[in-house]
Amino acid sequence: MIDIKVTEAPLDIPACINWVMSPQSGGIDVFIGTVRDATQGKPVLRLEFEAYVPMAMREMTKLAEQALEKWPLHKVLLHHRTGVLPIGDVPVVIAVSAAHRAAAFDACRFLIDTLKQTVPIWKKEIFEDGEVWVAAHP
């Protein structure tokens, strides 16, 4: 089972975790990306995320399907925010469940690392003295 979302609404972490839980799953791994207050020592005021949503949804679905083929997973969830996010907010949640922890850990790492490289989501970092567009998850 797969749950994919790109939204401007805040991400509901407990709901994401509850969705991947199942009686047959002995291992659940969750990655929660948060907006940090600095990049390379430079204070960040906020982040702004933009996405080409139709393509982002297709790419995220493709990633989830690849993970399901590569590991014996039960459920895969990928949710990403767009819009203006303050420090401490959550732009991305990835959650997977499997019978055993190794598959869950490996799949979760694959999903966040590959999402960073392939999904059309862009991040603008806003500083006191300017702003810069960067890849969604450098």
Express each pLDDT in 93-138 by its tens digit. Answer: 999 999 999 999 999 999 999 999 999 999 999 998 998 888 654 4
For 12-51, the pLDDT digits (tens) are 999 999 999 999 999 999 999 999 999 888 999 999 999 9
Domain boundaries, the chain: 2-128
Q: Which class is 2-128 in CATH? A: alpha beta
Contacts 24+ apart (CB under 8 A), 30-33: 30/93, 30/94, 30/95, 30/108, 31/92, 31/93, 31/94, 31/95, 31/108, 31/109, 31/111, 31/112, 32/90, 32/92, 32/93, 33/90, 33/91, 33/92, 33/93, 33/112, 33/137
Q: What pLDDT, on the 0 to 100 scale, is given for residue 138?
A: 43
Q: Are the C-beta atoms of 51 and 39 separated by less than 8 Å?
A: no
Q: What is the pLDDT of residues 71-97, one digit of tens each?
A: 999 999 999 999 999 999 999 999 999
Q: pLDDT band at 4, cuts 50/70/90?
A: very high
pLDDT of residue 135: 63
Q: Is the torsion defined by CA of 52, 54, 55, 60 positive or negative? A: positive
